[in-house]
Chains A and B, each alone.
Chain A
Amino acid sequence: MPKITYKDHQGTSKTIEVENGLSVMEGAIQKEIPGIDADCGGSMACATCHVYVDDKWFDKIPKAEDAEIDMIDMAFEPKKNSRLSCQIIVNEELDGLEVTTPEKQT
């Protein structure tokens, strides 16, 4: 199973195995990784699963669609490497993916 690393803004990191086909958000929720709230449950209707994707991974994941980018406008401190983790679907190629959760989600 692909391993995904979640870092918080202070640098503390946790690596977990996430099943193929689940989103990076769902993986975090299942293992109760703090910092990913996912209030809307993954319908791209909030921005509380916002993460910064590690630069070396950012171009390797499929690009965000417009609706996601619009929603990221509403995230807490969006940056160039911001994504909604509910829209990143895990597969073998993402084994080793690192994301950082923002200081807060709201």
Chain B
Amino acid sequence: MKKTDVIIIGAGPVGLFAVHQLGIKGLKAVVIDNLDKAGGQCIELYPDKPIYDIPAVPECTGEQLTTRLLEQIKPFKTELFLNERVDEVKQEKDNWIVKTNNKNQFTAPNIIIAGGVGSFEPRKISLKEAEKLEGKSVFYAVKNKDHFQNKKISIFGGGDSALDWALELSKYSKITLIHRRNEFRGAQHTLSELRKLEKEGKVSIKTPCQIVSLDNEKELRSINIKFDDGKTEKIRTDIILGFFGLIMKLGPIAEWGLNMNKKTIEVNSENFETNKKGIFAAGDICSYPGKLKLILSGFHEVALASVECFKRARPNEKYRFEFTTSSKTIHNRLGKK
């Protein structure tokens, strides 16, 4: 079990800036996020879209903002636990214990939930049968390429993941690429390579169509797709790979006994603490009168929450408000001379 001062859930901009605000106060933190990289919605939904309302930054993309925040928190050498979802939060006296789906355990007097709209999860095929086959013959990611050799694979989706994996797996498997419309939004050069393979008869591309059912006796045999003009087709399939993008799910957060308002967590706007002492919420996931879902609001929220975190983590020390311009202690923590 790892001990720290603050467990931050969510590595989006607000979670990352929390590290900074805690760090300059001398508090240690860990950050846990379900995605495979830091940045949250900024990196997953709009890495290339410009943001115009970060104070003193006239324009930057989601990716640039993330890179800069990571740079800003470098001095604190904070450990990020990515690809991990927090499943359980338990109280033990004045401390909280957090367990992840990776079986990691953390303990701290404070938790800051900076979870956006919840964790990103793959969107799934809405057929009941597909649910039963998940992990056996229906997948939403390729973790181990070996499982996808010498198979008949039907790949769904129109983005880069679908195109990239269709191309890669076509080296050792029979691929059918299926998309609901004729246009693919993934990289056009990948698509032209796939079109070439299609001409050579090595890959088959079906559009515009969607899955309607699957034939399954003990194992997956084939799938049935329906074209927009009403025609249907049966495709022999051992494995379905779906790349329908990610959706945001609140997930286990709803079960931690926090006061919720729809999909958000109620906090007071003095220190952004929830109804549980030592659990804070900041950024898009928190709600209070007048709340705005802006990145800049989230920055303010973690700044205030970090003060209360200090009081709980260092009950015997007096909190002193300091400016980064003039405080020697802060300069030391930032590694500046």
Given A74-B123, A78-B180; A46-B45 close (CB under 8 Å): yes
Chain B residue at minimal CB-CB distance from A43: B46
Residue A41 interfacial (CB < 8 Å)? yes
Name the distance in Å between A95's Cβ and chain B's nearest Cβ. 30
Interface size on B, residues (CB 8 A): 22
Give Cα distance in the complex from A80 to B228, angstroms: 9
Give Cα distance in the complex from A40 to B247, angstroms: 11
Residue B90 interfacial (CB < 8 Å)? no
A70/B123 in contact, CB under 8 A:
no
Interface of B is mostly: loop
User: Could you say which residues of chain A place their CB within 8 Å of the CB of B263?
Assistant: 37, 39
Q: Which of B181, B228, B244, B293 sits near A74, CB closer than 8 Å?
A: B244
Residue B278 interfacial (CB < 8 Å)? no
Give Cα distance in the complex from A78 to B245, angstroms: 13
Residue A58 interfacial (CB < 8 Å)? no
Residue A73 interfacial (CB < 8 Å)? yes
Q: Which of A46, A70, A76 sits near B248, CB closer than 8 Å?
A: A46
User: Could you say which residues of chain A place their CB within 8 Å of the CB of B142?
Assistant: none
Residue A17 interfacial (CB < 8 Å)? no
B185/A76 in contact, CB under 8 A:
no
Give Cα distance in the complex from A66 to B181, angstroms: 13
Taking CB atoms and an 8 Å cut-off, the chain A residues in 15-40 that contact chain B are: 37, 39-40
Q: Which of B117, B245, B248 sits near A73, CB closer than 8 Å?
A: B245
User: Could you say which residues of chain A place their CB within 8 Å of the CB of B228?
Assistant: 80
Residue A55 interfacial (CB < 8 Å)? no
User: Could you say which residues of chain B place their CB within 8 Å of the CB of A80?
Assistant: 228
A41/B293 in contact, CB under 8 A:
yes
Given A40-B45, A46-B45; A73-B126 close (CB under 8 Å): no
User: Could you say which residues of chain A place their CB within 8 Å of the CB of B10?
Assistant: none
Residue B246 interfacial (CB < 8 Å)? yes
Name the distance in Å between B49's Cβ and chain A's nearest Cβ. 8
B185/A106 in contact, CB under 8 A:
no
Residue B26 interfacial (CB < 8 Å)? no
B 109-144 binary contact with A (CB < 8 Å = 1; else 0): 000000001000001001000000000000000000
Name the distance in Å between B182's Cβ and chain A's nearest Cβ. 11
A73/B247 in contact, CB under 8 A:
no
B123/A106 in contact, CB under 8 A:
yes
Name the distance in Å between B9's Cβ and chain A's nearest Cβ. 18
Residue B41 interfacial (CB < 8 Å)? yes
Given A46-B45, A70-B185, A80-B228; A39-B248 close (CB under 8 Å): yes
User: Could you say which residues of chain A place their CB within 8 Å of the CB of B246?
Assistant: 74
User: Could you say which residues of chain B place their CB within 8 Å of the CB of A92?
Assistant: none
Residue B159 interfacial (CB < 8 Å)? yes
Chain B residue at minimal CB-CB distance from A78: B180
User: Could you say which residues of chain A place their CB within 8 Å of the CB of B46?
Assistant: 43, 45
The 7 closest A-B pairs by CB, nearest first: A74-B245, A45-B45, A39-B117, A70-B185, A106-B247, A41-B293, A73-B158
| B interface residues (Cβ-Cβ under 8 A, vs A) | 41, 45-46, 117, 123, 126, 157-159, 180-181, 183, 185, 228, 244-249, 263, 293
- Besides the known contacts A74-B244, A77-B126, 4 further A-B residue pairs in the complex with CB atoms under 8 A apart: A69-B181, A70-B185, A74-B246, A78-B180
